[in-house]
Amino acid sequence: MTFLKRLISIVLPLAIFVSTFCALIYFVVFSKGYLMNRYSAYGTASMLSMTESDLEAVTDRLVDFVKGREESIEIKTNVRGDFSDFFNKKDVSHMNDVAGIIASIRSIMIVSAVLATASLCFFILKAGRKSGSEEKEKIKKVIATGIIISDAIIIFVCIVVVLFATIDLNALVVFCHKIIFDNSDWLLDPRYDNLIYLCPEQLFVDAGKLCGAVFAGLMAVSAVLSVILFTRQSHPRKIHR
């Protein structure tokens, strides 16, 4: 049972981190509000010779399609002085692949949230059934240790990613795309493929910064929590009679 408790103590914070990461991608990065905010910063409408309202309509269709709320991503709009299909065949093919990735992210988010909830319930039940203060302190110590181990894993992964990005961001982006996609539709040409203006490299950089900031906050909270649990373990409250 001790091994199980230690394993679950690691699964709990890791599941929280994974579900948070997936939620950021699903609800924030792939949201109309966030994308339009970034497009405004990049001057996307100007680059495509579009009005903001037309770009907003295209973004709406993009978000709804990747989240399964629209069956087709095809949309006609005024772009570069012509009223035509915004997305070409390569754009449509690539976004079909992206929609599949987003569906997987949603599934991972749900599974991770369920794992986190189940892990938390496990410790609540264990603490409730064991009324002795010594056993409760042991459970707190196990949870604190699990948080430290999971934090170390997350920090290691983040350091590796940041190092690769610092050395050669383009190589990292290419590497990730080759792992995720089994075709070359992600190799977009700004002369022909409008999708590249909606998904520029800077968008991934900004999304990475957002995820990094949120993760840093989670790491800080978890670190404080583990210190509190260890402190209470080391200095249990005195009982005054």
Q: Is residue 236 part of a domain?
A: no
239, part of any domain: no
Does residue 72 belong to any structural domain of this protein? Answer: yes
Whether 240 maps to a domain, the answer reads: no
Average pLDDT of span 61-85: 96
238 within domain boundaries: no
Closest CA to 203 of 16, 62, 52, 53: 62
Amino acid at 23: A
Straight-line distance from the first to the last Cα atom of the chain, in angstroms, rounded to the nearest whole number:
35
pLDDT digits (tens, 9 = 90+) for 102-148: 999 999 999 999 999 999 999 888 877 655 677 778 888 888 899 89
pLDDT > 50? residue 228 = yes
Q: Is the pLDDT of residue 58 over 90?
A: yes
Distance CA 43, CA 28 (A): 20
Instruction: Name the phi and psi angles at 76, rounded to 5.
Output: -100, 140
Q: Which residue in 54, 63, 69, 57 sits closest to 98, CA to CA?
A: 63
Average pLDDT over residues 18-46: 96
Look at residue 28 in the predicted model and tell me its pLDDT: 93
Greatest extent of the chain over all pairs of C-alpha atoms, in Å: 85
Q: Is residue 145 part of a domain?
A: yes
Dump pLDDT digits (tens) for 172-210: 888 988 999 999 999 999 999 999 999 998 998 899 899
Domain of 196 in residue numbering reads as 2-231
Indicate the angle between helix axes 52-66 and 89-129, nearest 10 degrees.
60
The mean per-residue pLDDT over the stretch 66-87 comes to 95
Q: What is the pLDDT of residue 100?
A: 96
- Which residue has 């992600």 as its token pair? 186
- pLDDT, averaged across the chain: 89
pLDDT at 2: 80
- Tell me what pLDDT residue 202 has: 92
Question: Is residue 40 a part of any domain in this protein?
Answer: yes
Per the structure, how many domains does the chain have? Answer: 1
pLDDT at 233 over 60: no
For residue 176, tell me if it sits in a domain.
yes
* Full-model pTM: 0.86
